[in-house]
Structure 1
């Protein structure tokens, strides 16, 4: 307990970084947690119904009630929350370094929080590389370089 009281900032930074890393790994492994987006037909039907109600309300002289259906996106909250926790962990590691706290605590906070940010960056990079490869394959098939698969 004495170690935690002497290294408050770096210990809290390690805790936040570890929570962010576990949150990111669990979200990547078991996600997405949000319900799938509605089908195109359902979205078009809702928009047509809204336009119809607006026209009828305009003809009768009533003002149409605008209903906003804002649902929480759990995946976005988890993703952004993990990044915020990781940045806070890095900030606390910096403060711990300025206060000359134990190097193990500072390095632990930097490792956990930095590992979280690197994890998200690597996942984004893999997605970009895969998208470029798929685009190149499609262009090769369309241009005739590769025969149809």
Structure 2
């Protein structure tokens, strides 16, 4: 307990980084947690029904009432942003711990956990970009009837 008391900031950074890394891995493994977005058909059907109701109300001379739909909370976006924020907080705690001349194991632990979380998110983003580019090449190849080479 004495080591943690002497290295408060870097220990807090390790905690933030470990929580952020666990959140990222669990969210990647078991996510997405939000409901899927509505289909294009349902959006078009809702809009046409609203236009029809508005036209009928206007023809009858009634007052047109609009219903504002409240945006749902996107749990996936909140988890991603909070994980990145915790990782940045871990890196800041490692910096402050280094300035306070705390023990190296705490500083390095906060750097590893915080940096690992940011690297994990960056790696996932990069894999998504590469897969998107390969998919575009595959579609163009299919449409032109040629090969990728």
Shared fold (TM-score greater than 0.5)? yes
Q: CA RMSD of the aligned region, Å?
A: 1.8
- Structure 2: stretches of 5+ with no match in the other structure: none
Q: Which position in structure 2 is the counterpart of 1:119?
A: 120
Q: Which position in structure 2 is the counterpart of 1:2?
A: 2
Q: Which position in structure 2 is the counterpart of 1:146?
A: 147
Residue deviations 1:40-63, cap 9 Å, x none?
221111112222334445553525
Matched ranges for 1:1-149 at <5 A: 1-58=1-58, 60=61, 62=63, 64-146=65-147
SS in 2 for 1:69: coil
Shift of 1:92: 0.9
Q: 51-60 or 62-71: which moved more? A: 51-60
Shift of 1:33: 0.9
Query: Following the alignment from structure 2 to structure 1, what is the Cα–Cα distance between the partners of residues 9 and 74?
Result: 31
Shift of 1:133: 1.1
Q: 1:57 to 1:105 in 2, by over 3 A?
A: farther
- Structure 1: stretches of 5+ with no match in the other structure: none
Query: Following the alignment from structure 2 to structure 1, what is the Cα–Cα distance between the partners of residues 90 and 76?
Result: 21
Q: 1:2 to 1:135 in 2, by over 3 A?
A: same
SS in 2 for 1:36: coil
Scaled by the length of structure 1, what TM-score is found?
A: 0.89
SS in 2 for 1:22: helix
Shift of 1:87: 0.7
Scaled by the length of structure 2, what TM-score is found?
A: 0.89
SS in 1 for 2:118: helix
